[in-house]
Amino acid sequence: MTTPVRLERDGDIAVIVIDNPPINAGSAAVRAGLLAAIDTLAHDAALQAGVIIGAGKTFIAGSDLKEFGQPLQDPQLPAVIAAIEACGKPVVAALHGAALGGGYELALGCDYRIAAPDTMVGLPEVTLGIIPGAGGTQRLPRLVGLPKAIALICSGERVAASEALALGLIDAVASGDLRQQAVASARRRNGARSLVRDRSAPCCTPAELAAAGAAALRAGRERPAVRAAIEAVGQAAQADIDQGLAAERAMFQQLRLSVEAKALRHLFFAERASARHAALAGVAPRPVELIAVLGAGTMGAGITIAALDAGYRVLLVEQDPAALERGGSNIDALYADRVQRGRLSAESAAQRLGKLERSLDWNRLAAADLVIEAVFEDLAVKQQVFARLDAVMRRGAILASNTSYLDLDAIAGATARPQDVVGLHFFSPANVMRLLEVVRGAATAPDVLATGLAVGQRLRKLPILTGNAFGFIGNRVYAAYRRQCEFLLEEGAYPEQVDAALEAFGFAMGPFAVADMSGLDIAWRMRQSQAATRDPHARYVDIPDRLCEAGRLGRKTGAGYYRYEPGAKARQVDPVVRDVIDQSRAARHLAPQALDDAAIVRRALLAMVNEAALLLAEGVAGHAADVDLVLINGYGFPRWEGGPVFWARERGRAALERDLDWLALVSGAGFVRGDAGVLLQRED
């Protein structure tokens, strides 16, 4: 049996190589191998120092998260680090690729840290609902001070080698062969030790410490892991590091078994599973060098920026000169703002903009490998556009629609090449939002789907494959959620109560505040397009229609579910809306009921869960956890709750069945109950 750690001798230097592909995760076997190698270093008189280095593309990208939900196996990482510190001989950490979490904590236990220029270091544990548990909260403050340590640990920031050197996170950046330089560094130390644990944290005032903690709490929404990290770092101000290490480990052990940590691990593994598609195994994507974006509005401009940032050449095409000018100006302004804020160099901005061509000539589209249509969300308009694209685009080029809910097959039917048509549903603003739904039409070729996923990854998006159904995954689940919240208005709640309850649960915004922000007319048009096919017996809430008919379309008209004063960002409760709701209830002879916040949250989440079950049964979503990824990355569902599928699984089969039966009862005619069983089938 091969071991993931080997000791190679370079004269009097022990080179300890971690070889646990693909990311050298700090598993139990790696920890045992490191402990054995350190023991050899400590007791072999022929060895004067050691170097720890990773094989392959990275040092240690983090601990093995699969272990965190189980009893931890010995040796645990603190024991390995303690052995390094007690071995009596200097140890150099040679970092490359990623040195994150437990990997960077291991490096902090060494005497010296040298990194290749491509290295990223950091302690991202708080983003997984835990805190560093192997000394990160105690040793990092001794290098950078308590306020900076709080900022780095609570944000989970990953720091590039050059900045890490400036901050003191590492001691040197290698200018040549990393291993050779690390061995030379170890030999030059002549047995002298320089352990982080022996240093004192740089002084700071109580006010500085309090300010750093307050800022971290605000940014971290006061989550338990953020609070624990601040408390643990505060221990580093004490002289006795062992007390701080013990307190840190106790907090870590408690947090790693929490529901929040479990939820965040669920999302971590869900992202990796979402990229695996058995039907696309071995399918090579088509080459894409030039992307054309059709439409220079808000969405088109955002897609253009995302493509430029990813290094693509981009052709932005419009048919209206004024629209092209506005879109181009918005793109220029965004890059100018980035330069002014110091987020991008002027040279990099110019380089990216140099890859952009703007045109009114549709014939230029013939040169593109992929065109992304971002025009008005109307089926007839999109069919006209795709018929025109079919006549212009070269054979083998990919035609993508940014439609958010329309029938992709109906759009593809306007062409003679439906196999080349795919949906690429971006979320606004497209240059910021991470989610990308890649929509599979009935005829979409496998290599076209593979290309959509590959382009999404290069754009630094989270591409989720979805079948072609009204609203795909995200908008369909969100529509069920919003519809249930509208039922609550009929039954006795008002918009401000529903929004407050769901925001307290953790949503970035409640559904009615979201509706005002996006515009009530968008959903209104969608309902109108469905009116002819809607079940006349199904329960239908007319409150949003009444608001739209009164000209209350949201923020853009100064009134929707709330009132918005000119120049003010805050929404205001409007008695007019209450009158509209009361009139609607009276027309349906509905007596208002008292609804508490817990009932509101339960109804809303169960509506999402039920729709997720329907999507899975229909094959629209390929993985149950994909629903969680979509809702969290596109719709403001709180990450620490894991998503609606995770939430449902935590309730258990019996409780979930009772809940869905109850939801069907209170939802009335037209409600279709999903099969809870499809949600509970584990995919890992």
Catalytic residues: 105, 125
Closest CA to 192 of 111, 98, 87, 287: 111
Tokens of 235: 């221990």
Q: Which residue has the tokens 């998260």?
A: 65
> Counting Cβ atoms within 10 Å, is residue 341 exposed (0-12), middle (13-18) or buried (19+)?
exposed
How many CB atoms sit inside 10 A of residue 367's CB? 15
Between CA 495 and CA 500, with CA 498 as vertex, the angle to 5 degrees is 105
How many CB atoms sit inside 10 A of residue 100's CB? 24
Tokens of 645: 């599928």
What are the DSSP calls for 101-142, one per residue?
Answer: THHHHHHHTSSEEEE-TT-EEE--GGGGTS---SSHHHHHHH
Q: Would you put residue 427 in left (φ > 0), alpha (ψ -120 to 50) or beta?
A: beta
Listed in sequence order, the residues at least 6 apart from 659 whose beta carbon sits closer than 8 Å to its beta carbon are: 602, 606, 609, 651
**What's the chain's Rg over C-alpha atoms?**
28
Q: Which residue has the tokens 């971590």?
A: 268
**How far apart are the C-alpha atoms of 550 and 581, rounded to whole Å?**
13
What are the DSSP calls for 148-189, one per residue?
Answer: HHHHHHHHT-EEEHHHHHHHTSSSEE-SS-HHHHHHHHHHHT
**How far apart are the C-alpha atoms of 190 and 133, rounded to whole Å?**
31
**How crowded is the C-beta side of 425, counted as CA atoms within 13 Å?**
26
What are φ and ψ of residue 567, in 5° steps? 80, -5
SS3 291: strand
CB distance 144 to 172 below 8 Å: no
CB distance 406 to 433 below 8 Å: no
